[in-house]
Amino acid sequence: MFNPHLTLNCAGRLLSLEEPIVMGILNLTPDSFYDGGQHDSDSKILTQVENMLLQGASIIDIGAVSTRPGADLLDAKVEGERLIPTLKKIVGNFPEAIISIDTFRSEVARKCVEHGAAMINDISGGSLDQDMFKTIAELAHIPYVLMHIQGTPADMQTNPQYTDVALEVLDYFIQKTTQLVDLGAHDVILDPGFGFGKTVEHNYELLQKMHVFKMLDWPILAGLSRKSMIYKVLESSAAEALNGTSVLNFEALKQGAKILRVHDVAPAIETIKLFLQLEKHVPKTDFI
pLDDT at 32: 53
**Would you please indicate which residues are annotated as catalytic (active-site) residues?**
227, 261
3-state secondary structure of 178: helix
pLDDT (mean) for 208-220: 97
CB neighbour class for 260 (10 Å; exposed up to 12, middle 13-18, buried from 19): buried
pLDDT at 158: 80
Q: What is the pTM of this model?
A: 0.92
pLDDT at 167: 97
User: Could you tell me the CA-to-CA distances from 115 to 26, 87, 119 in Å, in that order?
Assistant: 17, 7, 12
**In angstroms, rounded to a whole number, what is the distance separating the alpha carbons of residues 51 and 161?**
40
**In angstroms, rounded to a whole number, what is the distance separating the alpha carbons of residues 100 and 20?**
17
Quick one: angle between helices 265-279 and 242-254, nearest 10? 40
Comparing 18-27, 66-75, 228-237, the range with the smallest average pLDDT is 66-75
pLDDT of 158-190, one tens digit each? 888 999 999 999 999 999 999 999 999 999 999
pLDDT (mean) for 254-283: 95
Sorted by sequence, the CB contacts under 8 Å of residue 177 that are 6+ apart come out as 146, 188, 190, 216, 218
Give yes or no for a contact between 207 and 248, defined as CB atoms under 8 angstroms apart: yes
The H or E element that residue 168 is part of is helix 165-183
**In angstroms, rounded to a whole number, what is the distance separating the alpha carbons of residues 253 and 247?**
10
pLDDT at 288: 40
Quick one: angle between helices 42-55 and 76-93, nearest 10? 60
**In angstroms, rounded to a whole number, what is the distance separating the alpha carbons of residues 148 and 204?**
15
Query: How does residue 285 score in pLDDT terms, banded at 50, 70 and 90?
Result: low
Give which of 233, 228, 222, 231 is closest to 22, Cα–Cα.
222
Query: How does residue 281 score in pLDDT terms, banded at 50, 70 and 90?
Result: confident
Sketch out the chain's domains with CATH numbers.
Answer: 19-279 (3.20.20.20)
The H or E element that residue 174 is part of is helix 165-183
DSSP 97: S
With pLDDT > 90 as the criterion, what percentage of the chain qualifies? 80
Sorted by sequence, the CB contacts under 8 Å of residue 284 that are 6+ apart come out as none
pLDDT at 38: 58
Residue 16 burial (CB count, 10 A): 12
Give yes or no for a contact between 151 and 158, defined as CB atoms under 8 angstroms apart: yes
